[in-house]
Every structure is written in C-alpha cells, then in structure tokens.
Structure 1
Amino acid sequence: MTSPAVADGYRLVDGPPPVDDYLVIRERSGLSPRRRDQAEAAVRGSWAAKHVVEESSGTPVAMGRVLGDGGWYFHIVDMATLPEHQRRGLGAAVMAALLADIRSSAPPGAYVNLLADPPGRALYLAHGFTDTAPYSIGMARLV
C-alpha cells in the first residue's frame, strides 16, 4: 500500500511519536494535557498510529491514532499538529493513512467514528465523516 502524500520537508511515520513528543504535540496543539503514565498507556494501546516528522530537525510535528477492536469499531483520536506546522496538509496525510490502515485490515462495513472539535471539523468532513446528530450524539464521563 502506498503512503499518502505529505508536504515536502516532512515524512509520514508508521506508529505513534515517542511519549515525550506525544505530550508536547497534544498540549501545544490545544488538546487537553495528559500525564506521562496516561500517554504511555495511550500509545501502547493504539490499534494504529501515524505521526509526521519534520525532516530537517527530526522532530515529530503531527500525529493521529486509532483505537479499535479490529473488527467493527474504530475510533480516531489524538489528531493534532503543532501550530507552526498547520495548514500544510499534515493532518490530512495522517488521516488518509489511518483510514487506509482501517480499509486494508477491517472487514467491509466497519464503523469509524471520532469526536470533532471545531478546529478539526473541516478536515473530517473532507475525509467523508458526517455529523451523526440527531440520530446519535457523543457522550462522555470522567472517572
């Protein structure tokens, strides 16, 4: 399978970024900060993950992960790009690669979902996601 195109000067990498970079990308891109133990469990528990590295510095600058059971449910999470690297198609490349992984491994009819915060909605719509309301709505609970 061919990797989705990524902007010049960047490289798409299979797998999550290192934990320290994962934490930095989350926080600097506006996602809620997490503790190191949470990040370690998160990257270890991914069904699939991709990240983008800036070639000149070797720094991870964008990422995304999939949580899933490998058969029916796939939930896309942690889609994030460092602010200074946004608007270069890096998020689109990560999303395309994650969806390609799902298409190549999941049975037909698999359910792929995500929670769409305002900054990512245009990206998700461009990749075929649609609003599920009023049929279903996202719900959450902290423990």
Structure 2
Amino acid sequence: MEKLVIRHEAPSIEQYLKLRHDAGLSPMSVEGAGIGLPRSSFAVTLYEEDQLIAMGRVVGDGGCFFQITDIAVTPSHQGRGLGKIIMREIAAYLDTVPDKAYVSLIADGEAAKLYEQYGFVPVMPQSQGMFLRR
C-alpha cells in the first residue's frame, strides 16, 4: 500500500457517490449528499495520493444518538485492514460523546465481524432494525 493519508473530513459529493458505487453500497442522490455530508457529526476518509480509497461517517443529533454509516472501501483495497483503520478513528471520536449516548449501525453480511471487534452486538431479539422502503 502506498502512503496512506487519514483525514477527518467528509469527501466531496462526487467522491462520496463514486466510492459508494464502487464499494457496492446503495446509490444516493447528489441532492441528498450535498445536504447530508456537511451535517456529519464525524467523518474519516482514507487517501492514497489524491485518490479516495475508503471512508466512514457518524451521523446523529450530537448528544443522544449516533449512527455509523457509509463504511466503504474500494474493492481493489479491500482485505488490507482499512476497515479497521476507519473503525479505530470512529471509535476514538465516539470516546468523546456523552456516556449514555446510543450508538448504532447496520452491519451487512460479514461486516458484523469487524464491528464486533469494537464492542458492537446484535440487537435481536430485544429489538429489530427496520427501514422505510421508498
């Protein structure tokens, strides 16, 4: 891996949409990205040279509720520990939020194994994650 640069900033709209697409995440709109990215509670982006290769964000109200979103790594860089770097940076941020804050995420497939390393546990059967199909 070339020299890795870690930044605590959201990517540009174009970078964000491209990385989501390349990583196989669901598409988002330009309008939504333009509204949402600047409102991130925390963002981490990983670059090689000037190329965005991975990202993660935390969104929420800043005090009571936080959700980890947009964990994405370009396919050509997967399997190199970049997800762990992203989660390490996010975990350091979460260490600064109020003690009783509720921190959640949606884990797709095998990603749950990564998140378990950072203390995340399934909410089933006490709770069930849901989303609004639009």
For Structure 1 versus Structure 2, the TM-score category normalised by the shorter chain is over 0.9
Give the share of equivalent positions with the same residue, in percent: 37
In 1, the alpha carbon distance for the partners of 2:34 and 2:17 equals 10
Q: 1:140 aligns with which of 120, 126, 131?
A: 131
Coordinate RMSD, CA, aligned: 1.4
Q: Distance in 2 between matches of 1:122 and 1:48?
A: 22
Give TM-score scaled by structure 2 length: 0.93
Partner of 2:29: 35
1:25 to 15, 19, 22: 19
Deviations, residues 22-81 of structure 1 (Å, cap 9, x unaligned): 0011011010111211111121221111110013xx101100111111212110000000
Alignment partner of 1:25: what SS? Answer: helix
Q: Alpha-carbon deviation of 1:8?
A: 5.6
Change in 2 beyond 3 A, CA 1:127/1:119 = same
Say whether 1:44 aligns with 2:35: no
**Structure 1 residues without counterparts, runs of 5 or longer:** 1-6
Q: Residue type of the partner of 2:103?
A: V
- Aligned equivalent of 2:104: 113
2:78 to 76, 79, 86: 86
- Give the structure 1 partner of residue 93 of structure 2: 101
Divergent runs of 4+, >3 A: none
Aligned length: 134
Cα distance between partner residues in 2 of 1:50 and 1:137 = 28
Partner of 1:53: 47
